């Protein structure tokens, strides 16, 4: 029985995403990024039909398993543009370090201004890296891994929706700058968005996402200790 339920949720999730992708292609606007709209529709549908998260994940866990191969697939544009990484290694490294620091510090300071709970601050600080890394950091600095995963998702979707539009408004158009910004701020979801722009942008975003995770692991505990 569980097998059929899982298949049903997998098919339903794919159908929702494909429909939202088609809508996004027809009405090209940051608000309709498929990751955001699909998530919203699934949450509403599960709430209306009173389906709990564990039941949905009978099928959802198999989709989650595909995240690993999807991330590995990003290595292909990275390999094809490896010469660009060599030529621009210092701007990319500098951008990633600054982006990671700003991501951590801004999250902490805004949380302090809004007077949120200390555990929330420790879960929010590492919002700009991929979920497994963020959850591990949260455990390391006494935050909540579950909250960290939620904030990572919010940061990724928000960055994919707003990031390219904001960069364009600021007249930041070079693929090195755009890729570094999306990878450092919005991890995998930002990199998927970068792939829409160009393979070169996706390659830079991919390496920025990886380097950002390494930098954040090193800096986050230190900055948390220093600021809090």
Return the domain boundaries, the chain: 2-65, 75-227
- Residue 1 — pLDDT band, cuts 50, 70, 90? low
**Secondary structure class of 204 (helix, strand, coil):** helix
- Angstrom distance (rounded) from CA 191 to CA 187: 6
**Secondary structure class of 51 (helix, strand, coil):** coil
Whether the per-residue pLDDT at 71 is higher than 80: the answer is no
Whether the per-residue pLDDT at 4 is higher than 90: the answer is no
Q: What is the pLDDT of residues 84-112, one digit of tens each?
A: 888 898 999 999 999 999 999 988 888 88
What stretch of H or E contains 22? helix 2-26
Whether the per-residue pLDDT at 72 is higher than 80: the answer is no
Q: Is-contact 186 160, C-beta < 8 A?
A: yes
Whether the per-residue pLDDT at 64 is higher than 90: the answer is no
Angle at 201 between CA 159 and CA 178, to 5 degrees: 50
Q: What is the pLDDT of residues 8-51, one digit of tens each?
A: 989 999 999 999 999 998 888 877 888 889 989 999 999 998 88
Whether the per-residue pLDDT at 181 is higher than 90: the answer is yes
Average pLDDT over the chain, rounded to an integer? 87
């Amino acid at each position: 029985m569980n097998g059929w339920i899982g298949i049903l949720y997998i098919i339903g999730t794919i159908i929702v995403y494909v429909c939202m992708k088609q809508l996004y292609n027809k009405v090209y606007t940051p608000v309709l990024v498929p990751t955001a709209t699909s998530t919203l529709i699934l949450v509403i549908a599960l709430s209306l039909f009173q389906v709990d998260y564990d039941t949905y994940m009978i099928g959802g866990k198999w989709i989650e398993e595909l995240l690993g191969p999807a991330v590995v697939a990003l290595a292909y544009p990275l390999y094809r543009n490896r010469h660009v990484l060599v030529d621009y290694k210092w701007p990319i490294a500098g951008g990633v370090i600054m982006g990671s620091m700003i991501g951590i510090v801004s999250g902490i300071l805004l949380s302090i201004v809004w007077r949120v709970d200390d555990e929330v601050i420790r879960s929010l600080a590492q919002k700009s890296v991929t979920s497994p890394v963020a959850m591990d950091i949260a455990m390391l600095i006494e935050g909540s891994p579950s909250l960290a995963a939620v904030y990572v998702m919010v940061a990724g979707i928000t960055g994919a929706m707003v990031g390219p539009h904001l960069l364009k408004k600021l007249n930041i158009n070079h693929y090195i700058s755009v890729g570094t910004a999306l990878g450092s701020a919005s991890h995998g979801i930002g990199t998927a968005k970068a792939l829409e722009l160009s393979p070169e942008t996706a390659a830079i975003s991919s390496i920025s996402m990886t380097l950002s995770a390494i930098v954040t692991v090193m800096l986050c505990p230190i900055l948390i200790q220093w600021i809090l």
